[in-house]
Structure 1
Amino acid sequence: MQEGFEDSVRTRMGVKKSELTDTDIRDKFIAELAETVTIKRVPEYGKIVDEKDLMFLESAVNYYICYLLAPTMPNKIKYKVSTIEVKWEKLKTDWEKRAEEFLALYEEALSQIESVNVLTVQSEIFHIAKMTRGGE
């Protein structure tokens, strides 16, 4: 990961550093997992020299980090603050929906890599995961 990737993650998620710290982003089961999952999808990532493909690869990792972090965000963000001097309320974000969007952006970034092979996943798995008992 490039230095400063944490700021890129926060920007994509639309949150402040006080809401999502560098430590949260760099967590082994967030940043390292995102990198590992991406490496498994792009086994020849070390052979990429094309600047655009490197950008797409890095973007993919950042989007996967966002995907992993999104479900944790409701516990990190204050939506309402009320004191004697200050009172404000933020609009709530549907973080589950955002997670799905980040996963789609991850797949889109990977699909843009042209200089090496990118392994595809079977989309049926995603459909099965979303099935409900009512659909049986």
Structure 2
Amino acid sequence: MSRDQRADDPVALQEALGSFVRAFGLHQPEATPCGRPIPVSEAHALSELAQEGELRQVELARRLRLQKSTVSRLVRQLSTRDWVERAPAPDDGRGVVLRLTAAGRRAAQNLAEARRKRFSRLLGSIPAHERSGVLHALDVMVEALDE
């Protein structure tokens, strides 16, 4: 099958995406692609909270594209690790605001450093003339998934 024919074949997209998931390690949910022994969902939550300082739990669910009940379990796991603290939202007694603890900030910093190293190596392995195309393809995939 030619490259142009493959471009219109959903099976080719499925196989290529599956190969990427496995090569990047996304099929191993108990470890991050950068090799840290933490579930990927927890790593993403830590990253969002480190970036913002604090977030409402419903906003974290929106950003992670997870159900509220899934994020509730996730927050319980992070709290058990002493990485996140919960507080009532100041403007809404039913809302919950999440903040990283000191231990959570250290964990987030360690993850960020591991992620920076992994992505630096990955970017260095992509030929310079292909990099903008790779980033564009990822943007197009996210847009298509959002439809």
Question: TM-score scaled by structure 1?
Answer: 0.27
Kindly indicate which of the two structures has a greater share of residues assigned to strand. 2
Which TM-score applies when normalising by structure 2?
0.25
Structure with the larger helix share: 2
Larger-gyration structure (1/2): 2
